[in-house]
Amino acid sequence: MIIKKLIRNINPVKITGRISNNIKDIVYDSRQAKEGSLFICIKGFKFNGHDFINCAVNNGAVAVLIEEEPAEYKKEITYIQVKDTRKVMGELAAAFYDYPHKRLKLIGVTGTNGKTTTTYLIKTILDKAGYKTGLIGTIKNIIGEKTLPATRTTPESLDLYELFARMVDEGVSHVVMEVSSHALDLNRVEGIRFQIAVFTNISQDHLDYHESFQNYLQTKSRLFASVSEDGFAVVNIDDNAAKAMIKASRGQVLCYGINNLADIQAEEILLAANGVSFCVRGKREFNINLKLTGFFNIYNSLAAISCALALGIDNPTIKTGLESLSGVDGRFELVNEGQDFTVVVDYAHTPDGMQNVLQTAREFVEGRIIVVFGCGGDRDRGKRPLMGQVSARYGDFSVLTSDNPRSEEPLSILKDIEAGIKEINEDTAYEVMPDRREAIIFAVNKARRNDMVIILGKGHENYQIFKDKTLSFDDRDVAREAIRKRYK
C-alpha cells in the first residue's frame, strides 16, 4: 500500500520524506523489519522504539512512524510524526488489512475473572449454531479449526487486525475475544465496534498499572462505549459495578444474574464436584446440566446464554453447546491419576477469583482443602495479603510458594502474603516453600483420602518467570508426576 493512501485517515503532526513509497508490511519490532516495512516506534514499559529506528532502517524499513523527532533524518526514509503512535497504529493496521473487523461480528468479553471460560462457552454455542468462529484470548487463538499461540490476552492492534484479516480469509463470521483492561487503556481495540460487549465482574487486580480501583473500573467501562448502535451490552447485574457498565453502554442492555432480577436468570441450582445444573428463567427458559462446576461457571454460562439470545440462537442449540464443553485448560482442571484425593489446577490469581474457587470446593469436599499459591512479582502488591486472608478463611492448610517472581525476591512476596494470613488467625496452618515444584510435591504428599489439593495462580501457563531466566514449568505436569511417585 502506498504511504499516501495508508495515512489518509490520520492527522500527522509532520511528514518528512516521500509519501509515494510503497509499504509491504507494518512492524513495531525493529528485528522484524524487512525490505519495504513501515516501522512504528512504540514507547513501551521497558524500551522506547525510537531507540531502534536505525536497526529497523538497516533491516530494510522505508518509513517510520514517530512521536519524537529523530537525531537525524535520512533522505531515503519517510518519517511520519504523530502525537500518539500506539493509538495511530490501530488505524494504520485497519487500513493496511482493509478493515477486516467490519466484515466480522465481534463479541468482546471483559472483567477481572471469567473472561476465558466465558469466551469458550460462547464459542461452543456459536459452533453448534453452525457458524465458523474465531477466538482470541489468554490460552490460544483459534481460526475455525486452526490453533495459533497467544502471547497476550488481547493482542496489540497490529497483530489483532492481522488476525482479523486471516479470519476473514478463512471464512470466519463471528469472533469472540477477551478484552483486557490493559488493551483498553493502551488503545489496542481503538476504533473497533463490537456487536456484543460482555461484563463478567470486577474486583481488585492490576492496581500496579491502573493505580486506583476507580481508574480500573473506568477503563473496563470503555468497552461498552464501543458497542455498535444496533448491538448489545451483556452485564452481570449481581456485580456492584453493573450500573457503571450500563451507564457507559451503547445499544441494548441485557442483564444476567442469580440474586437480582435479570433478563437471563439461574434458579434451582444444584452444585456437585463433576458439574452444576440449574434452570434458566427470564427471556429464555430451559434446563442446563454443565460439566463445569462452581457458582462462577453459572455466571459464565448466563453470560454466554445472553449473547446467544442477542444473536437469536434457539434454546436447544444453546443447551447443546453449553453441555458439550467438558473443561477449559487451567480452569478448575482436574489432575487425576487414580488417587483417593482430588487435585485441581486453576488460573485464579486475584482475591475474588481465589475465593470463588475455594468456596466452590467447600460445597463438596469431604476432607481438607490444601491450597498452593503465590503472587506474581512486579504486580499489584496490595492483593497479596488479601489472598493470604482468603486462603486462611477457606483453606485448611496453605502452602505459600512462588508464582512468577519476575524481578522481585520470592521470599519478599511470600512475606506480604504471610501478613494477610496472620491477620486472620495466628494459628493458621501453613508452610512457606519458595520452590514451586517442592511446594506442589509437598501438598500432594500431605493429602489424605477425600482431601482436595488446589494449585492456584498459573493454570494453563507452562513457564515460570524469574529475574534472570524463564523456566519450563506446568503445574499439571508437576502434580501428575508427584502423584505417580507417591503411588509407586
Common-topology check for domains 3-85 and 100-324: no
pLDDT-derived band at 86 (thresholds 50, 70, 90) equals: very high
Average pLDDT over residues 1-14: 95
Q: What is the pLDDT of residue 207?
A: 62
- Report the pLDDT value the prediction gives residue 79, as an integer from 0 to 100: 97
Question: From the centroid of its chain, how far is CA 276?
Answer: 24
For the chain, report the end-to-end CA distance as a whole number of angstroms: 63
Domain 333-486, CATH = 3.90.190.20
**Residue 181 reports pLDDT greater than 60:** yes
Q: What is the mean pLDDT of the segment spanning 108-129? A: 96
Check whether 204 has a pLDDT greater than 80: no
**pLDDT cut 70: percent of the chain above it:** 98
| 105-110/133-136 β-pairing | unpaired
**Quick check: 180 and 352 in contact, CB under 8 A?**
no
Q: Return d(Cα 375, Cα 349) in angstroms, integer.
A: 7
CATH number listed for the domain at residues 100-324: 3.40.1190.10
- Is residue 154 within 8 A of residue 178, CB to CB? The reply is yes
Q: How confident is the model at residue 213 (pLDDT cuts 50, 70, 90)?
A: confident
Q: Is residue 211 over pLDDT 90?
A: no
The yes-or-no verdict on residue 240 having pLDDT over 90 is yes
**How far is CA 361 from its chain centroid?**
23
User: Where does 3-85 sit in CATH, by number?
Assistant: 3.40.1390.10
Distances (CA, A) of 229 to 37, 207, 232, 233, 472: 36, 32, 8, 10, 46
Collapse the DSSP code of 181 into the 3-class scheme (helix H, G, I; strand E, B; otherwise coil) and give the result.
helix
Q: In the structure grid, which three cell numbers stand for residue 51, read together?
A: 531507540
Q: What is the distance between the alpha carbons of residues 164 and 148, in angstroms, rounded to a whole number? A: 13
For residue 205, is pLDDT > 70?
no
Residues in the chain: 488
- Which pLDDT belongs to residue 210? 59
What does the pLDDT read at residue 150? 93
pLDDT of the residue at 216: 83
What are the sequence ranges of the domains in the chain? 3-85, 100-324, 333-486
Judged against a pLDDT cut of 80, whether residue 426 lies above it is answered with no
Q: In whole numbers, what is the pLDDT of the chain averaged over residues?
A: 95
CA distances from 290 to 137, 201, 435, 439, 443 (A): 22, 21, 36, 32, 29
Where helices occur in 170-202 by DSSP H, the ranges are: 181-185
